[in-house]
């Protein structure tokens, strides 16, 4: 819903899981957005993941600029022992891993992935600010990351989806999901905000 867990909340969840004998996997599809929102540094990324007790992290690449590929990082080497076999069984072994690795080298250089996550987060806040005065959207507080979940009813919803597609979120509540990305420009936001106003008028 455009929010995220704080480092302390992640630590609390991990502690509880470990007390119950469980391991913790964090789905970090949008880890760049979270890292940017929680301080914006690779040190902060470690603090909110492995230092907080996460055992395995999926480090998302495609949602912060990679063409394809995700990285699975094990906080403890012994947890990775069988992973090389499992990835073959699930058809997740790319024959040219260097193509995925090259993308991560670029994303990690000077924390580019955090800069791209911040850009997406800023675009969402800009969009929120541009349309927050429209009462029918029933927007809550500004998003912490790159997602907004307004209420939007037909015919405006379908008209907007035909023009610039987005997904329904909670159909029963007429709620949709607007996502901004690492490459969303200020001009994109301004144009979409204008389209929203035109559809609702």
- Of 5-9, 97-101, 187-191, least confident by mean pLDDT is 97-101
What pLDDT is recorded for position 92? 62
Question: In 140-178, which positions are buried (b, 16+ CB within 10 angstroms) versus exposed (e)?
Answer: eeebbbbbbbbbbeeeebeebbeeeebeebeeeebebeb
Q: Is this prediction's pTM over 0.85?
A: yes
What pLDDT is recorded for position 91? 65
Under 8 Å between Cβ of 31 and 38: no
What pLDDT is recorded for position 69? 83
Q: What whole-number percentage of the chain has pLDDT above 90? A: 76
Domain borders along the chain are: 7-113, 119-200
- Which of 3.40.50.720, 3.40.190.10, 3.40.50.300, 3.90.1150.10 is the CATH number of 119-200? 3.90.1150.10
Distance CA 123, CA 67 (A): 21
pLDDT at 115 over 90: yes
Domain spanning 7-113 has what CATH number?
3.40.640.10
Q: pLDDT (tens digit, 9 = 90+) per residue, 20-46?
A: 999 999 999 999 999 999 887 767 888
What pLDDT is recorded for position 78? 92
Under 8 Å between Cβ of 111 and 175: no
């Amino acid at each position: 819903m455009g929010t995220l867990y704080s480092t302390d909340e992640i630590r609390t969840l991990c502690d509880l899981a470990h007390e119950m004998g469980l391991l913790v996997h964090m789905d970090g599809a949008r880890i760049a957005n979270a890292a940017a929102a929680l301080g914006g540094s690779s040190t902060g990324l470690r603090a909110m993941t492995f230092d907080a007790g996460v055992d395995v992290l999926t480090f998302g690449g495609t949602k912060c600029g990679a063409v394809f590929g995700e990285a699975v990082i094990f906080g403890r080497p012994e947890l990775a022992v069988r992973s090389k076999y499992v990835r073959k069984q699930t058809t997740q072994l790319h024959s040219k891993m260097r193509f995925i690795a090259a993308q991560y080298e670029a994303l990690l250089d000077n924390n580019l992935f955090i800069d791209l996550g911040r850009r997406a987060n800023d675009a969402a806040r800009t969009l929120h600010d541009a349309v927050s005065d429209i009462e029918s959207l029933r927007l809550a507080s500004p998003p912490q990351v790159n997602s907004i979940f307004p209420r939007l009813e037909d015919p405006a919803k379908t008209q907007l989806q035909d023009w610039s597609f987005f997904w329904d979120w909670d159909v029963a509540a007429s709620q949709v999901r607007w996502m901004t990305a690492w490459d969303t420009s200020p001009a994109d936001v301004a144009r979409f905000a204008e389209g929203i106003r035109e559809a609702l008028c």
